[in-house]
Amino acid sequence: MIELINSGGVRVAEFELPPRTDGPWHHHSQVSEFCYCLRGQLVTEIEERQPATLDAGERCEIAVGVRHRVRNVAALGASYLVVQGVGPYDFVT
């Protein structure tokens, strides 16, 4: 993870996700989140929604308090940006 911005209640970070890797289920209690696929293909799983596949250049929004995770089901690595705000960051599993 490379944190690009963390100020004024806004956080932007870049993540790498190796092939066939799942991130943990979690939520954020005070910030909404945008997930923007930079490279590869990601599957976003958001509680009470159908999984969505993001290709490079596509994004999804995740509301405050909603459990979610990101998965890489492909044989190649993926990278994505997470943009969160406005408010204090937390990661609740």
Q: Is residue 79 part of a domain?
A: yes
Q: Tell me whether residue 54 is exposed, middle or buried, using C-beta atoms within 10 angstroms of its C-beta: 0 to 12, 13 to 18, 19 or more.
A: buried
- pLDDT higher than 90, residue 2: yes
CATH number of the domain residue 41 falls in: 2.60.120.10
pLDDT at 8: 86
- pLDDT higher than 90, residue 89: no
Express each pLDDT in 25-78 by its tens digit. 999 999 999 999 999 999 999 999 999 999 999 999 999 999 999 999 999 999
Q: Is residue 92 part of a domain?
A: no
pTM of the model: 0.91
Domain holding 41, by residue range, is 2-85
Q: Is residue 93 part of a domain?
A: no
Total number of domains in the chain: 1
pLDDT at 43: 97
